[in-house]
Amino acid sequence: MAIVYNFSAGPAVMPKEVLEKVQRELLSYKNSGMSVMEISHRSSLFADIQKNAEGNLRKLMNIPDEYDVLFLQGGATLQFTMAPMNLAINKKKIDFVDTGHWAQRAIEEARLVDGIEVTQITSGADSKYTSLPEIDDSLQEDADYVHITLNNTIEGTAFKIVPTFKEVPIIGDMSSNILGQRYNVTDFGMIYAGAQKNIGPAGLTVVIIRHDLVEKSPDLPAMLSYKKLVAKNSTLNTPPVFAIYCAGLVFEWLLAQGGVDEMEKRNRKKSKLLYDYLDSSSVFQSPVAIESRSLTNIPFVTGNAELDKQFIALANDNNLVGLKGHRLVGGMRASLYNAFPIEGVEKLITVMEKFELEHKEVD
């Protein structure tokens, strides 16, 4: 089998060792004679899988005891609705930091929740979201929480430092850089992430939430209620058993590799290679302001849609797949998640250099 480097933004590359382990255990999990896909979510086999997954995630992210960990479904997108319903309950106001597409999606969904007032306290729209907006305490209004998208998967920007907003909790969408760089959980009231970018297969959403916020949340239909889901330890109904199992294996893999700090080191090295090349190239450029650049999602362009297309075709011929940029921004995008090996970045740059030599004259 040829080596394929998968730059897709999500679902995305998973560690090969994890996939091999899944393969080895697929037909008979722990000598049970059953696949993980076939075991009961009420069995002790699954209870152990979930307990270990949660324990390892707590270790990786230093999650304190006063935070609950939930394994849910509905993607990050359902959290755009659940967070407002559960947490915007006193002032019924949410402040949003508008950093692009996913922040906008979160804003749109919050607006649909009855009786909630939504404010964009700052926006990167002026820069077409190629840089992050300035944030300071004075921006904060009298809201139940502030919502921030930590890593903007499409635009390729990321917050390195989490802003503080006095007493108001921060709810963070960490879908595309959870476990890829160090953040302090205690800076947040809640963190959520769809699994299919930096964790595992689609179908799982991780929610990390401070317990006092759970306690205060109102009575809601069960599947929309953090309180009821926490009370049932995420198994109020059938959880995504296979996705949780795979996520658990990824967490084990991350610990064996050296944890989040080691991942951040590798992600810095991988992204620096590509950014350094982009900043020196006469054909390719990064549209993103240097201080706002993401470690995990790196958009780049030639400035010519036809050349972009030719490059994507050449990359595909070289087994570099998933590089087509998001339809909203065009160009190319390299997603360098935890499981993406540095060799793939080196190969990408080699192919870009070759393309550059052939197209230098074209303007």
Catalytic site positions: 102, 173, 197
Closer CB to ligand PLP, residue 8 or residue 281? 8
Q: Is 119 annotated as a binding residue?
A: no
Q: DSSP E strands: which ranges in 186-269?
A: 190-194, 205-210
- CA distances, 342 to each of 113, 294, 339 (Å): 43, 16, 10
Q: Are 340 and 180 in contact (CB under 8 A)?
A: no
Closer CB to ligand PLP, residue 283 or residue 295? 295
- Please tell me the distance from the alpha carbon of residue 88 to that of residue 93, in angstroms, as a whole number: 6
Residue ranges that bind ligand PLP, judged by CB under 6 A:
10, 75-77, 102, 149, 153, 173, 175-176, 194, 197
- Please tell me the distance from the alpha carbon of residue 238 to that of residue 20, in angstroms, as a whole number: 26
Closer CB to ligand PLP, residue 6 or residue 176? 176
- Please tell me the distance from the alpha carbon of residue 77 to that of residue 91, in angstroms, as a whole number: 23
C-beta of 10: minimal distance to ligand PLP in Å?
A: 5
Q: Is 77 annotated as a binding residue?
A: yes
Look up residue 33 and give its DSSP letter: S
C-beta of 205: minimal distance to ligand PLP in Å?
A: 6
C-beta of 286: minimal distance to ligand PLP in Å?
A: 19
C-beta of 31: minimal distance to ligand PLP in Å?
A: 34
- CA distances, 240 to each of 30, 61, 80, 259 (Å): 19, 22, 20, 25
Closer CB to ligand PLP, residue 283 or residue 323? 323
AA letter at 85: M
Residue with tokens 């052939």: 358
Look at residue 5 and give its three-state secondary structure: strand
- Please tell me the distance from the alpha carbon of residue 252 to that of residue 53, in angstroms, as a whole number: 8
**CA nearest 241: which of 201, 273, 211, 291?**
201
Q: Is 102 annotated as a binding residue?
A: yes
Binding-site positions read: 42, 76-77, 102, 153, 173, 196, 237-238
Binding-site positions for pyridoxal 5'-phosphate read: 76-77, 102, 153, 173, 196, 237-238
